[in-house]
Amino acid sequence: MSEEPHPLDDPEKSWRVVKALLITAPFLFVGSYILAWLQGAQTQHSLLIAAVALGMCLGAAGVIHFMGSKSWIALVMLKVVLMLVARK
């Protein structure tokens, strides 16, 4: 029996996911900024929250583009790094 390849290993499907994330990124930035501002956050904090949301979206697009179905490894590596930083 042959297994079907993961959808993110198909270049066409992977590109559609990356394209969707790239299109969504500016809306995520603006939406995050507006939500933080509406909740009473200072402008600096609203911008920080929006920038982190934008960075996460663009980071996910980049990792999916370069690693495909193995992109979950990047999340595990990030978690380990954050755990090591949090200990200090």
Interatomic CA distance for residues 16 and 27, integer angstroms: 17
Per-residue pLDDT at 2: 60
Q: Positive or negative CA dihedral for 67, 70, 74, 75?
A: positive
Q: What is the pLDDT of residues 10-49, one digit of tens each?
A: 889 889 999 999 999 999 999 999 999 999 999 999 999 9
| 26: in domain | yes
Q: Is the pTM higher than 0.85?
A: no
**How many domains does the structure of the chain reveal?**
1
| 25: in domain | yes
Chain CA centroid to CA 55, Å? 7
| 22: in domain | yes
| 2: in domain | no
| 1: in domain | no
| 59: in domain | yes
Find, among 69, 70, 34, 66, the residue nearest to 50 by Cα. 34
Structural domain boundaries enclosing 72: 7-87
In contact, 12 and 19? CB cutoff 8 Å:
no
**Is residue 86 over pLDDT 60?**
yes
- Sequence length of the chain is 88
